[in-house]
Amino acid sequence: MPSLAPMVYRNLDGFVYLMEVIDLIISDCRPPRPLAQQEQALVCLVLRVLASLAASNDRDNLTPDEEAHYLRLVSLVHDLLLMPPSLDRRPLLESCLEVLLTVPLIAFEELTTPLEGTVDVACRFEDKNLSAVNSLVEFLRHCLREVTHELPPTELTPSAASSASSVGACLAVLTEASISQRSVRCFLRSLILPKHPHLPAASSSSTTSAAAAAGGGDIDTEDESVTETEANSLLSDLCRLISGGGLEGVGGASASGSCGSSSGLARQAGQLLFVLCKENAAKVVRHTGLTQFPALVHSLQIPCHPTSPTATASGGSLDAYSSDSSEEEILDPEVSVAACCSQSRAATVREKPGTDDS
């Protein structure tokens, strides 16, 4: 029996009708008010069905009408992300992520809107309002805390396991949005990566030594800029995932990890940082102190050149990164992955007196 999803998607216009259901619920919540419990349950159910229908479609071969449907879908998700929080907003956020994992890259433009009216300064970038993206980042922070801080890594409860899955979904969505939209990438850079690179305070002493070697100088761990707040920052949590420290005991760092596994999260965290640095491994090393990162690009099979889905029906494609980016280039000129690996190996040797350099 043929799959019902393509038939519902194309022949029965189910995609359009289901979006109408969400649109009506959002309209009924104006002026802005939290979704009632029954409304949220219905929205989550409809979003999951929409995600299933979208997953059955070929994102690389969209007609103009299909592209318009995806743009509208992400626009609805944007509005849901900005609705006043209810008592338990987590199911709604998870359902929104489930949808965003199925959309083509071009649809992520609907997560940003022109800067109009009163907007929190923390959610602005140039002339864009990125409040919806900031909602996803805050959800990522919340889930990371539960996974990397609150529980012993070998005793993940069902709730923490669910958080690990949500972390994977958040990382994947933010990575794709960063590839697609320069404003999202620059906004996330400002939130995650320090303007003046130095080692995150949460890193180990051995990593400190290696980072100092890679950076060409000593790192003062007592520097005033390394505060307790920064030790618990999003960057530090991502570094824990990449190094395996946050989920040690759950699984090894291999390329075959699932979305919520240790290796899967390490890969996704690494790919997000890689994309934020425009796929320059040397910059990731300078920002994080993870001198083993270039080797992880290979061992975790982090894509070095993401291929964008077809952006238009005429066959045009999205550029992976803007060539005329105005981002401040504060790091050294690009260094090859091989050079970084050599620095990492040299630092490791220096940490072990008596080891033969050969």
User: CB within 8 A of 8, min separation 6: which ones?
Assistant: 14, 15, 53
Highest average pLDDT, of 240-244, 253-257, 320-324, 353-357, comes from 240-244
Tokens encoding 275: 């994309």
7-31 pLDDT, tens digit each = 666 666 888 999 999 999 999 998 8
Domain ranges in the chain are: 1-88
Per the model's pLDDT, the better-predicted residue between 24 and 323 turns out to be 24
pLDDT of residue 324: 45
Which of 332 and 39 is assigned the larger pLDDT?
Answer: 39
Q: Looking at residue 195, what is its pLDDT?
A: 66
Q: What percent of the chain has pLDDT over 90?
A: 35
The predicted model gives 191-197 an average pLDDT of: 74
Q: Are 124 and 115 in contact (CB under 8 A)?
A: yes
Compute the average pLDDT of residues 94-116. Answer: 95
CB 287, CB 193: distance < 8 Å: yes
CB 275, CB 185: distance < 8 Å = yes
* Mean of the per-residue pLDDT values of the chain: 73
Element spanning 113, H or E: strand 113-114
Binned at pLDDT 50, 70 and 90, residue 219 comes out as very low
Task: Compute and round to an integer the Cα radius of gyration of the chain.
Answer: 21
Give the confidence band of 325 by pLDDT, cuts at 50, 70, 90. very low
| Cα separation, 81 vs 214, whole angstroms | 40
Q: Confidence band (pLDDT; 50, 70, 90) for 261?
A: low
What are the DSSP E strand ranges found in 12-122?
Answer: 113-114
pTM of the model: 0.74
State mean pLDDT over 236-241.
88
- Rounded to whole angstroms, the Cα distance separating 178 from 329 reads 18
3-state secondary structure of 286: helix
Query: In the block, which residue shows the tokens 């969505």?
Result: 173
What was the pLDDT predicted at 304? 67
Which residues lie below 8 Å from residue 72, measured CB to CB, with a gap of 6+? Answer: 19, 110
Confidence grade of residue 276 (pLDDT, cut at 50, 70, 90): very high
**Mean pLDDT score, 266-293:** 90
Among 94-98, 101-105, 332-336, the least confident range: 332-336
Residue 149: per-residue pLDDT: 63
Distance of CA 280 to the CA centre of its chain: 17
